[in-house]
Amino acid sequence: MGRGILLFPVMALAVLASVVALLALAIGPAQAAVNLLPGFTKSRVASDLTKPMDMEFAPDGRLFVAEQDGMVRIVQPNGTLATFLDISAKVDASGERGLQSLTFDPNFATNHYVYLEYTMEATGTTPVHNRIVRVTANGDVAVAGSEELIFRLNNQSSAYHMGGAIDFGKDGKLYISTGDNETSNNAQKRTNLFGKMLRINKNGTIPSSNPFYATASGKNRAIWALGLRNPFKFAVKPGTNTLFINDPGEHRWEEINRGKSGANYGWPVYEGPETDPKYTPPIVQYRHYRVGRKYNKTGCAITGGTFYNPTTVQFPSGYVGDYFFADLCNGWIRRYRPATDKVTDRAFARGLNHVVDLEVSKGGGLYYLSRPNSSPGSSSVSKIRYIGN
């Protein structure tokens, strides 16, 4: 994830190089006791996860978790884990590579399709690369042999800056975030898929309505927006095409960018706020600093984000439509209010342990996925709910 999402040790010596590295070395302030705003409480939902990267609620309410090494787990009602899929034999999980994310077909109730993004290990003359695939669910397991390649991304030159989130918009298109693969100039070029937001049809073809369809060629026609560093997570507001992109910075700024067709978010020319009309500035930015091996009290790497638009509102009504986002190192969750364009509740949750993803259930609970380090079984899913003052 690179000053992005730090999960592995090799990048820990680089300047804020990777969220993976931070997790492995437990760099950053010691986690204090968890503090929530008055009226909220938290509870553990599941433990014993290994290097989780992403979680998603299926349309039927089941919670799926993607683990970096290639396992997809389903959290059972009693908190135990069922194995939905194991593709570890073909996943390259070095650095920030691995099983990145999963999402569900808009027609999951009838076709049972689950989409995954993972890093395919090098085989023969085929270099390592990320790919989008589709598998078919049969209850709590994937149908053996059902994997189908939907879209293949570029060959990689680095094991870092994968980006790697996928999700569907209301338009039925599949959106994909990609990192710059540690070559920052990739992000400004329309001749590769790195450092971009991509938009494809769910069968892997490319919509002719994409902004660069007429000027790009081949798979590069999938580019929907560019100029991103390492967008580890993005979120789509339920029932809309509103999309917020969380992009970890390198030098000083963490960003939330509003998804827009044809937008250029400026990396590596700009990071954080900018006034050049050629580039689209973030809607939210916050600073990070690194002094030696310590991070300041603001943050170091933006990770998960999610809109509070559940089927059943469990939080106070004033939270509806707001956007929660998390920082990896400083262990907090904050809330952005699009209606007022303000970040509020700076202390909504503090003292959390290396949060990598956020999701809201249909029932209105805010779930967070913690990955304190890379030790087997050390990670967990927890839920925040409102109990009143």
Q: Is 79 helix (H, G, I), strand (E, B) or coil?
A: coil
139-153, 167-181, 277-291, 356-370: the lowest-pLDDT one: 277-291
Higher pLDDT: 345 or 201? It is 201
Q: What is the C-alpha separation between 244 and 201, in angstroms, rounded?
A: 20
Higher pLDDT: 28 or 93? It is 93
- Check residue 291 and give its pLDDT: 53
Q: How confident is the model at residue 271 (pLDDT cuts 50, 70, 90)?
A: very high
The token pair at 116 is 């995954």
Burial 196-233 (b: 16+ CB within 10 A, else e): bbbbbebebebeeebbbbeebeebbbbbbbbbbbbbbb
Respond yes or no on whether the N-terminal peptide bond of residue 59 is cis (omega within 30° of 0): no
With a pLDDT cut of 90, the percent of the chain lying above it is 83
- Check residue 377 and give its pLDDT: 79
- Check residue 5 and give its pLDDT: 47
Of 45, 41, 49, the closest CA to residue 68 belongs to 49
The token pair at 235 is 């979120």
Cβ proximity of 135 and 102 under 8 Å: no
Radius of gyration of the chain (CA): 19
Mean pLDDT of 71-99: 97
With a pLDDT cut of 70, the percent of the chain lying above it is 89
Give residue 137's identity as a one-letter amino acid code.
A
The token pair at 280 is 């689209």
Q: Does residue 386 surpass a pLDDT of 50? A: yes
- Check residue 11 and give its pLDDT: 34
For the domain covering 9-386, report its CATH number: 2.120.10.30
The secondary structure of residue 275, as a DSSP letter, is -
- Check residue 15 and give its pLDDT: 32
- Check residue 373 and give its pLDDT: 76
Which range, 25-34, 89-98, 297-306, has the best average confidence (pLDDT)?
A: 89-98
Mean pLDDT of 341-362: 92
- Check residue 161 and give its pLDDT: 98
- Check residue 21 and give its pLDDT: 44
Q: Does residue 370 surpass a pLDDT of 60? A: yes
- Check residue 293 and give its pLDDT: 53
Cβ atoms within 10 Å of 272's Cβ, excluding its own: 17
pLDDT tens-place string over residues 119-147: 999 999 999 999 999 999 999 999 999 99
Q: What is the C-alpha separation between 73 and 233, in angstroms, rounded?
A: 19
Q: DSSP states of 178-225 as a string?
A: E--TT-GGGGG-TTSSTTEEEEE-TTS---TTSTTTTTS-GGGGGEEE
Q: How confident is the model at residue 300 (pLDDT cuts 50, 70, 90)?
A: confident
- Check residue 376 and give its pLDDT: 78
Q: Could you state, in order of their start, the residue ranges of all structural domains in the chain?
A: 9-386
Cβ proximity of 238 and 212 under 8 Å: no
- Check residue 289 and give its pLDDT: 64
Mean pLDDT of 159-179: 98
- Check residue 53 and give its pLDDT: 98
Q: What is the C-alpha separation between 181 and 193, in angstroms, rounded?
A: 10
Cβ proximity of 61 and 71 under 8 Å: no
- Check residue 16 and give its pLDDT: 34
pLDDT tens-place string over residues 11-58: 332 333 444 444 443 334 444 589 999 999 999 999 999 999 999 999
- Check residue 347 and give its pLDDT: 77
Mean pLDDT of 321-346: 93
The secondary structure of residue 123, as a DSSP letter, is B
The number of residues in the chain equals: 389
Mean pLDDT of 142-153: 98
* Residues 192/194/198/203 CA torsion (nearest 10 deg): 70
Mean pLDDT of 49-76: 97
